[in-house]
Amino acid sequence: MARSRRPLIAGNWKMNGLTADALALAGAVAEGVKQAGWTDRELLVCPPSTLVMAIAKAVKGSGLLVGGQNCHAAASGAHTGDIAAEMLRDAGASHVIVGHSERRTDCGETDAVVRAKAEAAWRAGLLPVVCIGESLAEREAGRTLSVLETQLKGSIPAGSTASRLVVAYEPVWAIGTGKTPTTAEVAAAHAHIRRVLGGLIADANAVRLLYGGSVKGGNAAELLAAGDVDGALVGGASLKADEFLAIAKAA
């Protein structure tokens, strides 16, 4: 892993967390970050939007970063139930996940929608974590690399640079299933993503590429050591402080 790419270990809490438990979880992760005193890696938690402000306040000064899980492309307006990137920023977020496969599936988000959300993140001063990944059917059809290429080209805005973009590769079939690709498959996907990025942006070599999908304390070291992997986007295992910190230690 190139030194210039500081690993990012991000927790996507998804639709989990009520105030008391969420504050306890964030507090325990923040305490772990503080004790470890890491300067060579970053840790991020992305709670549900109802908790972003309380958690950002609670972990302030610990070094733990806080992000949103989604944002609308517009800054404000008649979009009932949605949340603007500016609102996340106002609540204390520094990052936002866009284009997670659950939103692509549940909410019909297309590459163009995801790209608009990434642009909205920039407008608000947030760093977007753009997610891409193939389905099981696409993998079995041998289409993984072409699917990743299409999603990547459609989802990242013009003007992307390494300091304005994080890409997360999350094979849909590996999310929440306990199944993971082999390290060779992860390395092949990440190498392809970086090659495609190379045709789109000048400093592609410095863009952080996260792997996501059934990352746990027990498999993190192996997955994070795969070529071109610069961190992890963690779902289920990010809901336990010790497990999430174990993944961060493995980075």
Residue 129: exposure state from Cβ atoms within 10 A (0-12, 13-18, ≥19): buried
Which of 22, 30, 89, 80 lies closest to 51, judged by CA? 22
Dihedral sign (CA 190, 67, 8, 247) = negative
Q: Which is nearer to ligand 13P, 157 or 171 (CB)?
A: 171
Catalytic site includes residue 170: yes
Instruction: Tell me the closest approach of the beta carbon of residue 20 to ligand 13P, in angstroms.
Output: 22
Instruction: Tell me the closest approach of the beta carbon of residue 176 to ligand 13P, in angstroms.
Output: 4
Catalytic residue among 100, 102, 134, 138: 100
Residue 78: exposure state from Cβ atoms within 10 A (0-12, 13-18, ≥19): exposed
Q: Which is nearer to ligand 13P, 165 or 234 (CB)?
A: 234
Catalytic site includes residue 100: yes
* Residues engaged in binding ligand 13P (CB under 6 A): 12, 100, 170, 175-176, 212-215, 233-237
Catalytic residue among 102, 170, 190, 192: 170
Q: Which is nearer to ligand 13P, 44 or 73 (CB)?
A: 44
Q: Which is nearer to ligand 13P, 67 or 213 (CB)?
A: 213
The two three-digit tokens of residue 203, written as one number: 């400093």
Residue 233: exposure state from Cβ atoms within 10 A (0-12, 13-18, ≥19): buried
Instruction: Tell me the closest approach of the beta carbon of residue 132 to ligand 13P, in angstroms.
Output: 12
Active site residues: 100, 170
